[in-house]
Structure 1
């Protein structure tokens, strides 16, 4: 069984769209939306968040595969963005920016879909989170996943080598108490 990502992981901090999509860990079938929502936003119900997450995830999956995002998902995000506009106010000489959560997520998806950054899916065993690549060869979302993947690969190689050596040392099968 592959090592799995701890479910109390620190968020990657790559924007609201990726954080929202990453509240579901496919490799572990773990849904962290409830606990994430409690500390991140209060505007949307869990049902609304699940619907928004499904839309965002469909776009991110397409982007990670180098495909065009589903048109219906983009249209849905266009509507969300239009209904949740960014606005500013000036209070006591301070500029305050107000951005409804759903609108922030939609605009973050649009920025990713515009192609200025590359979205990928972490290849570490037990992860599968979306992330923005820092460089073209990056395949893991964080150092922890890279370390777990390297450890798993080393363990698999060491195990295969041990089995190969054991097979060479005992060509007629394992030695039992009564001899061979």
Structure 2
């Protein structure tokens, strides 16, 4: 059984968040070209093997973008019965296709058995990826699987503030948005909507 580490959670969420609001009413893609993927890899060097000096090419970009589409489809599935991110609503992969894509990518990383044995507990067998041998999509897929099978999945939400397309982890029961600025935008939009058509 895989256990999601903080690095797994970061990688899975940050991969999904490479699709974001562009600040002008549209959606921006941080992975629009190999240079964007290279910058993203370098920004996550602490969580990715052999990231330092890595330069992405078109093949890697296509593989990571295909994996991201699968991850976002499974995130949309995970937040049900809530609505998915508005960026995904009209173009989600079917869940079986997303699962096949994620599992195929994860299979590119060999795993090794790891024994864990804590005090006053029975020994447990884990399977861990051999990160040095895996390609980038395999490492990202392993992180996404660990996240989606872990307890943090139940905290996953899509932010529905105006113009936001992010997924986030809900930190407290009343949290509705991914960040305070989204909450402010949502409150302003509600205020304008209430006062748009005053009662006669």
TM-score (norm 2): 0.57
Please state how far the C-alpha of 1:108 moved relative to its aligned partner: 2.4
Partner of 2:70: 55
Partner in structure 2 of residue 22 of structure 1: 17
RMSD after superposition: 3.1
CA–CA distance in structure 1, aligned partners of residues 81 and 135 of structure 2 = 29
Deviations 1:34-77 (A, max 9, x none): 3642311244632222211111111111111159x923423332
**After superposition, where does 1:58-137 map in structure 2 within 5 Å?**
58-65=73-80, 70-85=95-110, 98=132, 100-117=135-152, 118-137=155-174
Q: How far did 1:158 drift?
A: 3.4
Where does the alignment leave 5 or more consecutive residues of structure 1 unmatched? 1-13, 88-96, 168-180
* Of 28-37 and 49-58, the range deviating more from structure 2: 28-37
Unaligned runs of 5+ in 2: 1-8, 42-54, 83-93, 113-130
8 Å CA contact retained: 2:18, 2:31:
yes
Counterpart-to-counterpart distance in 2, 1:86 and 1:149: 45
Q: CA deviation at 1:150?
A: 1.2
Alignment correspondent of 1:33: 31
2: CA distance, partners of 1:45 / 1:78: 17
Once superposed, which parts of structure 1, at least 4 consecutive aligned residues long, lie more than 4 Å away?
A: 97-100
Residue in structure 2 matched with residue 91 of structure 1 by the alignment: none
Once the two structures are overlaid, the 10-residue window that deviates more, 108-117 or 55-64, is 108-117
| Superposition deviation, residue 125 in structure 1 | 0.9
Matches within 5 A, 1:162-177: 163-164=198-199, 167=200
CA contact (8 A) 2:19 2:165 kept: no
Q: TM-score, normalised by structure 1?
A: 0.63
Whether the 8 Å CA contact 1:86–1:100 is kept in 2: the answer is no
- By how many angstroms is 1:22 displaced? 2.1
In the alignment, which residue of structure 1 is the partner of 2:125?
none
The number of equivalent residue pairs is: 141
Pair member with larger Rg: 1
Q: 1:15 to 1:100 in 2, by over 3 A?
A: farther
Hey, what's the Cα distance between the residues in 2 that align with 1:108 and 1:135?
A: 24
Q: Does structure 2 retain, via aligned residues, the 8 Å contact 1:85–1:103?
A: no
